[in-house]
Amino acid sequence: MTKRLPKILCIGAQKAGTSWLYENLRCNPMIWSPPFKELHFFDFKFVEESKRWARWHVRSSVKRTLKRPQTTEDQSLYLRSLMEEPILNGNWYKKAFAPMPEGSVGFDATPEYCSVPEEGIAFLKKFLDDPFIIYLIRDPLMRALSQVRMNMHRKKRDYADEEAWMEAAMDPVIASRGDYKTFIPMWDSAFPNVLYLPFGAIAEDPTAVLRAVERHCGLVPGCYEFAHERVFGTVRAAAPGKVLDYLSESVDTQATFLKERFSADFISQTT
């Protein structure tokens, strides 16, 4: 029997189009993924920060999915089983993909995977038998600012409160989720054929982005009816000047790294 585990991972970056890719790639006839995004198996195992909230995140995602009117009884039983302890261990992850039909290609989109350390990347490669890796790259400042806005929204902070903005900007997860300089070389070392895609290409030609994913992962061409639609856009609140200055300075080394690692044409498409 074929091992039912994902063969394709989208590892990030957060606020760089991972939800868009998840929603659209699931329309490919070869793809199967659990009915909610972000499984957090590998970051929970190897990133200390994730251990504080990943269980809650998974359970919240399952509960939201259970409320969908089209959920069948069998799907409900499957989803409820994913809330039963122990969760987020190897057997749980296998259970998450257990319903995958024979011959399908499993897909897991969890942007926190991009900050998994070297030992975690090695474990992931062995556990999944050398999967295809997709990494969406967004301009460091724009990505960080989008994440700050999202976290402000989640915590119901006042967009008129400059100190709340600064507190959100200084949260260590802002730096870790966009630390291309540290983590891209690790992924390159373990996976020489990572598919890097610039965030701006999604708006410019979303179908071309999906075709590039299909070619890279050996998928048949799919029909992506909603490829031009935005998924989970962040509130466009204007950040205070001092917050923009702080973020600009904090991501300067990331921007320099990307310019050294990728072509000028690639960089021009990351915004």
Q: Give the number of other CB atoms < 10 A from CB of residue 140.
A: 26
- 49 domain-assigned: yes
Contact criterion met (CB below 8 Å) for 247 and 177? no
The boundaries of the domain holding residue 94 are 6-138+182-234
pLDDT tens sequence across 149-190: 999 999 999 999 999 999 999 999 999 999 999 999 999 999
- 158 domain-assigned: no
List of residues 6+ apart from 269 with CB closer than 8 A: 198, 199, 200, 201, 204
Look at residue 165 in the predicted model and tell me its pLDDT: 97
Look at residue 2 in the predicted model and tell me its pLDDT: 54
Look at residue 264 in the predicted model and tell me its pLDDT: 98
| Tokens 């903005």 -> residue | 165
CA distance 225 to 223: 6
Nearest of 54, 65, 67, 60 to residue 111 by alpha carbon: 54
Look at residue 1 in the predicted model and tell me its pLDDT: 41
- 123 domain-assigned: yes
- 163 domain-assigned: no
- 258 domain-assigned: no
Give all strands (DSSP E) within 58-178, no chain letters.
105-109, 132-137
Residue 77 sits in a domain whose CATH number is: 3.40.50.300
- 203 domain-assigned: yes
Average pLDDT over residues 197-214: 98
Q: At what angle do helices 252-261 and 241-250 cross, to 10 degrees?
A: 50
Contact criterion met (CB below 8 Å) for 65 and 36? yes
List of residues 6+ apart from 40 with CB closer than 8 A: 50, 54, 57, 58, 88, 110, 112
- 43 domain-assigned: yes
What are the percentages of helix, strand and coil residues in the chain, rounded to 5? 55, 10, 40
Q: Decide: helix, strand or coil at residue 177.
A: helix
Query: What percent of the chain lies above the pLDDT cut of 90?
Result: 96
- 162 domain-assigned: no
Nearest of 99, 138, 131, 174 to residue 10 by alpha carbon: 131
Buried b (16+ CB within 10 A) or exposed e, 102-113: eebbbbbbbbbb
Structural domain total, the chain? 1
Look at residue 232 in the predicted model and tell me its pLDDT: 76
Average pLDDT over residues 224-234: 87
Query: What percent of the chain lies above the pLDDT cut of 70?
Result: 99
